[in-house]
């Protein structure tokens, strides 16, 4: 499998450090608000990678953290930790805020079909490890203590290593672009970043340390928890492109400073999402939470969109390209999802014949695998599935036939790529849980009764069943040997 490594700026053959095992770390959410579209894309991108690596036979340890310790860097204007601010305003324990939004995040991820990671460590649960990590950086001479806080010495580090190698920057241009002036802060250089911050008296989330009552800097948790659970060197580190600088750059610096080498072999970054051509941001008033997508409760949305529509929409673009969200684009994805669902239902009901008389199906599995192994090219997989849908519908319409062996292969390939790898749960497609089976059985039973009524020319009953189901949102299509339905 080839993946694009942000660090080397090229596609590379993926070779794990320990054969058969993959360690992967992805920066998770900061839990002070509801998850929005910006959270959905990395979650779905790295879920796709997680699923595909498992399909390739690897044992994957997937670590995705929860950021629940404040970091001023993210909200420098307000000068207050967001979790702390929320807790103060709503008179809650900070950990109540954290738990509330973590639960909601998990719920959204489940709806989106995102598998839970193997380990989901909280920054607040790893303060001791972070303090130890800081000590290593201090011992190596790449950090200094100032007024109870500890800062990373970027200029010193850059004498031995290259600060900026991931994002392709160098320290001189970074220095020129900084607005902060020397001598106006506790830092020796404006580029230095906090490893430990002394807490101000009103700060409620703080812990004891050798330097002060305080809290760790944001970048530190990922270096610490990544190496704690995956080892001093591990395979993959992922996240959104917005995290490349400074967050991931600082992670590299911290690991090199503390351990003498980089921790990560392959850096992967998903591209960003724009909404109607605009960057997502508070100032644009276009922050749409996932819940708002699911309920349609936002002025930019024409109506609700199902989690699977969002998932398919994200997977229809390659993870390294930008994606622009609009109601129209989502409606198109919704049509695609309906078509996949209908085709999947027809595929499951196909009867085999003596021989296969339809072309285009041979080698489908290989083509889908090749696309996935080419840096997770999900849009190609989806277009392969749509191409095969044409052949499936030709067979279902009685215009061609398929042999038993070819039919089994086709059904297996669809199950593998649609359900297991792309992670799409299609309305009637998968019937592996009891509720779904009962629900489908009940609708089928009503439509069987309607079919019987039609045979008896009892139009009143047949129309009544059809109208009641239609009013509930079912789409019923009569076909030559019965009916098809979808919701």
Residues that bind Zn ion (CB under 5 A): 27, 222
Closest listed residue to residue 253, CA positions, set 207, 177, 195, 295? 195
Q: How far is the CB of 219 from Zn ion (least distance, A)?
A: 7
Place of tokens 């400073």: 257
DSSP-derived secondary structure letter, 355: S
Nearer to Zn ion, 27 or 330 (CB): 27
Nearer to Zn ion, 86 or 219 (CB): 219
Q: How far is the CB of 238 from Zn ion (least distance, A)?
A: 10
Whether the CB-CB separation of 3 and 266 falls below 8 Å is answered with yes
66: three-class secondary structure by DSSP: strand
Cα distance between residue 397 and residue 401, in whole Å = 10
Q: How far is the CB of 224 from Zn ion (least distance, A)?
A: 10
Tell me how crowded residue 82 is: count the other CB atoms within 10 A of its CB. Answer: 18
Nearer to Zn ion, 131 or 222 (CB): 222
DSSP-derived secondary structure letter, 125: G
Alpha carbon separation from 255 to 27, 152, 172, 232 (Å, rounded): 16, 12, 22, 8
Q: How far is the CB of 243 from Zn ion (least distance, A)?
A: 6
Whether the CB-CB separation of 426 and 418 falls below 8 Å is answered with yes
Q: How far is the CB of 49 from Zn ion (least distance, A)?
A: 16
Q: How far is the CB of 240 from Zn ion (least distance, A)?
A: 10
Distance of CA 364 to the CA centre of its chain: 26
Nearer to Zn ion, 242 or 436 (CB): 242
Nearer to Zn ion, 41 or 425 (CB): 41
Nearer to Zn ion, 124 or 341 (CB): 124
Q: How far is the CB of 426 from Zn ion (least distance, A)?
A: 33
Q: Which residues of 38-67 are buried (b: 16+ CB within 10 A; e: fewer)?
A: bbbbbbbbbbbbbbbbbeeebebbbbbbbb
Nearer to Zn ion, 234 or 417 (CB): 234
């Amino acid at each position: 499998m080839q993946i694009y490594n942000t660090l080397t700026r090229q596609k590379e053959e993926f070779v794990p450090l320990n054969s058969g095992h993959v360690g992967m770390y992805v920066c998770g959410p900061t839990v002070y608000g509801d998850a929005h579209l910006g959270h959905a894309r990395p979650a779905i991108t790295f879920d796709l990678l997680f699923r595909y690596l498992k399909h390739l036979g690897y044992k994957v340890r997937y670590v995705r953290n929860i950021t629940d310790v404040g970091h001023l860097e993210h909200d420098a204007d307000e000068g207050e930790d967001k979790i702390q601010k929320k807790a103060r305003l709503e008179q809650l324990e900070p950990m109540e805020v954290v738990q509330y939004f973590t639960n909601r995040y998990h719920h959204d991820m489940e709806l989106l079909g995102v598998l839970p990671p193997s380990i989901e460590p909280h920054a607040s649960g790893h303060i001791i490890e972070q303090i130890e990590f800081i000590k290593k950086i201090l011992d190596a001479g790449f950090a200094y203590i100032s007024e109870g806080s500890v800062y990373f010495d970027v200029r010193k580090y850059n004498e031995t290593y290259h600060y900026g190698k991931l994002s392709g920057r160098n320290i001189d241009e970074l220095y020129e672009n900084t607005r902060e002036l020397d001598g106006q802060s506790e830092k020796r250089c404006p580029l230095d970043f906090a490893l430990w911050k002394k807490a101000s008296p009103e700060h409620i989330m703080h812990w004891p340390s050798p330097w002060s009552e305080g809290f760790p800097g944001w970048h530190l948790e990922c270096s610490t928890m990544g190496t704690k659970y995956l080892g001093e060197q591990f395979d993959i580190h992922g996240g959104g492109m917005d995290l490349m600088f400074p967050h991931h750059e600082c992670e590299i610096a911290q690991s090199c400073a503390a351990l003498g080498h980089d921790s990560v072999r392959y850096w992967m970054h998903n591209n960003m999402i724009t909404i109607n051509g605009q960057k997502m941001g508070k100032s644009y008033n276009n922050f749409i939470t996932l819940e708002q997508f699911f309920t349609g409760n936002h002025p930019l949305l024409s109506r609700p969109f199902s989690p699977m529509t969002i998932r398919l929409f994200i997977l229809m673009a390659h993870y390294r390209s930008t994606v622009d969200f609009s109601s129209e684009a989502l409606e198109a994805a919704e049509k695609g999802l309906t078509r996949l669902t209908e085709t999947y239902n027809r595929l499951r009901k196909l009867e085999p014949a003596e021989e296969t008389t339809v072309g285009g199906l041979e080698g489908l599995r290989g083509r889908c695998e090749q696309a996935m192994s080419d840096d997770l090219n999900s849009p190609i997989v989806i277009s392969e599935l749509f191409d095969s849908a044409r052949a499936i519908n030709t067979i279902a319409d009685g215009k061609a036939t398929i042999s038993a062996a070819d039919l089994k292969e086709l059904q297996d390939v669809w199950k593998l790529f649609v359900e297991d790898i792309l992670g799409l749960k299609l309305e009637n497609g998968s019937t592996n849980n009891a509720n779904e089976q009962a629900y489908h059985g009940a609708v089928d039973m009503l439509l069987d009764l309607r079919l019987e009524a039609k045979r008896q020319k009892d139009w009143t009953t047949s129309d009544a069943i059809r109208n009641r189901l239609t009013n509930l949102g079912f789409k019923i299509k009569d076909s030559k040997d019965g009916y098809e339905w979808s919701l």
